[in-house]
Amino acid sequence: MAAARMQLLSTRNVGILSRGWLTGDGPRVRSLTSPPLCPSPGRALSSVSATRCGLPKERMSENGVSPRAKVLTVDTMNPTVKKVEYAVRGPIVQRAVELEKELSEGIKKPFAEVIKANIGDAHAMVSFFPLYSHTSFYFKVLALCSYPELLNDSRFPEDAKSRARRILQSCGGNSLGSYSASQGIESVRQDVARYIEQRDGGVPCDPDNIYLTTGASDGIVTMLKLLVCGKGATRTGVMISIPQYPLYSAALAELGAVQVNYYLNEEKCWSMDISELRRALDEARRHCNPRALCIINPGNPTGQVQSRQCIEDVIRFAAKERLFLMADEVYQDNVYAEGCQFHSFKKVLFEMGPEYSNTVELASFHSTSKCYMGECGFRGGYMEIINMDEEVKSQLTKLVSVRLCPPVPGQALMDLVVNPPRPGEPSYDNFMRERTATLSALAEKAKLTEQVLNTVQGISCNPVQGAMYSFPCITIPEKAIKEATDKGQQPDMFYCMKMLEETGICLVPGSGFGQKDGTYHFRYTTHDYNILG
């Protein structure tokens, strides 16, 4: 039945392979085989910019005497880069940094400090939340791995030492400084596989399907690179929720893929509707070739936690419509609301039986940056690949080898995340205490955020079911909208800029994540609850 089904992602339709890149005996000079395209808009523009400089570029190459136009200009650079935006570190954050600098220079502002509620980084806010603990066990192990002489130091517990020894043994030269295998340290991948099996109630996980990555972002971008190909009407379309985490829109823009938006339902607490997926897909098929469906669960920026039923419906939809599923599950431990539970796509897939579990192609992503760990700076992550064509998988392995290997400390940290202190071990009690404290602090703040924001006129906030953010809807007065439009700014950017200048609070405008036309939002990182006053 399912066995004969052709895989969606095969070596015939993997974009990066169609450039002859990873197959054959390696890169070589290639003759241009594609038919000549019409001159790109970039080229037409380049003559305009040259005129603005007063000197046509073509003439300059003869004498090489300045002034001359540069080789790399906005007109000659890769045109897809022009569309890349990443709001989380965008213009508002840059302004926030400027304001911080001004404050430090003694310039008076209506606020004493800038509060960066723009980024999901729990530890960065530790000065506001001393309760917020690092998982001290992890840092002990990493310190031991970095400087193994500390293995003789009695300050460090035995369970930390044994984990450090095990990690070091799996590193070349017993050092975190050696390159690891590109797919990641094998023993770590094995531990990840075991963790996934436990999490998913025994559904088997093959370590060979695990790829350690530099944060989840690296895995997501790598998969998109494999998926995106084609030209014009056959250009790959990738379905992504609106609102979404802007890594997706940035990566799709950079790769020149077609972003296919499906809208989450704000009235129903940002839930997914299959009918909306259907609408988006049908519309997209008119102008591109949709091949992948990305889901962020729990959601960023919206915080919704998908129900099991919804996940099953999505899987059925993906199976029927032959879409590669990408499940971004980095917030899997951050679930707060009553009645909500995290269900991994993998688990649900396998529980739906072989008709689906043998055929639906799925990549799930996780990271050390979120949940209770919040260790963003280590850039640790993994992806699990299910039902990928074997040949494509070996090309994926080659693709990841180009970036050599993920940071080894991040791999070590991931190992600890999936292999934490066990009951009976010396560090267990403290670990559980810290973990519980962090998760309940996050849960409490999520609830309080929703409550407080809803008391403010003009702001309406859905319950924060999970993740680390709230995405309230704001009503912006007509006058403000007009002023914003006159300035060429999105109204919610205008609102957030004013907020920043007047109160020092840095939020990210909803336009950075995508939203229904005519609606405005901002993303607020909930662990900064205390500043809401």
Partner 1 sequence: MHEFSGGVKKPYQNIIEVSASDPHRGGLRPLTFVRQVLAACLYPQLINSDKLPVDVRQRAQRLLGACAGGSVGSYTATAGIAEIVQSVSDFITRRDGGIPSHPENIYISPGSHWNIFTILVNSKSSPRSGVLTPVPGYSNAVMSLTGVGAVNVPYYLDKEQGWELKVEELHRALESAKGNCKPVALYIINPGNPTGQVQSRKSIQEVIRFVSEKRLFLLVDEVYQECVSGEKSDFVSYKKVLFEMGHPYSDTVELASFHSVSNGFFGECGLRGGYVELVNVDPTVMKYIYKLFSKDSCAPVLGQVALDLMTNPPQPEDPSYPLYHLIQKMKATLLCNLKRFMEVLNSLPGFHCPPFEGGTFAFPRLHLPPKAVHKAKEVGMQPDTFYCMRLLEEAGVFTSPGCDFHLKDGSHHIGVCIMISEEVMEELLRRLACFHIQFMKDFS
Reference 131, options 420, 507, 440; nearest CA is 440
DSSP summary character for residue 503: H
Min separation Cβ 356 and partner 1, Å: 33
Reference 509, options 86, 50, 55; nearest CA is 86
Our CB check for partner 1 shows the closer of 118 and 241 to be 118
Min separation Cβ 462 and partner 1, Å: 26
Min separation Cβ 288 and partner 1, Å: 16
Quote the CA–CA distance of 106 and 91 in Å, as a whole number: 23
Min separation Cβ 283 and partner 1, Å: 24
Chain centroid, CA 288 distance in Å: 24
* Strand-strand pairing, 508-509 and 522-525: antiparallel
Our CB check for partner 1 shows the closer of 84 and 476 to be 84
Our CB check for partner 1 shows the closer of 137 and 356 to be 137
Beta partners for residue 241, in sequence order: 262
Peptide bond into 301 cis (omega under 30): yes
User: Contact 345/311 with Cβ under 8 angstroms?
Assistant: yes
Our CB check for partner 1 shows the closer of 121 and 266 to be 121
Min separation Cβ 115 and partner 1, Å: 12
Reference 291, options 314, 253, 258; nearest CA is 258
Min separation Cβ 71 and partner 1, Å: 5
Our CB check for partner 1 shows the closer of 209 and 357 to be 209
Our CB check for partner 1 shows the closer of 144 and 305 to be 144
Beta partners for residue 470, in sequence order: 524
Residue 194 CB-half CA count within 13 A: 13
Min separation Cβ 15 and partner 1, Å: 10
Min separation Cβ 48 and partner 1, Å: 14
DSSP summary character for residue 271: B
Our CB check for partner 1 shows the closer of 15 and 472 to be 15
Min separation Cβ 437 and partner 1, Å: 16
Min separation Cβ 93 and partner 1, Å: 9
Instruction: Identify the helix (H) or strand (E) that includes residue 88.
Output: none
Reference 299, options 199, 436, 446; nearest CA is 446
Our CB check for partner 1 shows the closer of 23 and 519 to be 23
Query: CB-based burial of residue 116 (10 Å sphere; 0-12 exposed, 13-18 middle, 19+ buried)?
Result: buried
Rg (CA), the chain: 25
Residue pointed to by tokens 């600098």: 101
Quote the CA–CA distance of 53 and 60 in Å, as a whole number: 12
Chain centroid, CA 47 distance in Å: 38
Reference 327, options 449, 200, 435; nearest CA is 200
The DSSP secondary structure of 520-531, one letter per residue, reads -BEEEEGGGGGG
Our CB check for partner 1 shows the closer of 237 and 381 to be 381
Min separation Cβ 36 and partner 1, Å: 5
Cα angle 79, 84, 85; round to 5: 150
Our CB check for partner 1 shows the closer of 406 and 463 to be 406
Quote the CA–CA distance of 448 and 104 in Å, as a whole number: 32
Our CB check for partner 1 shows the closer of 97 and 233 to be 97
Non-local (6+) Cβ contacts of 296 within 8 A are 241, 244, 245, 328
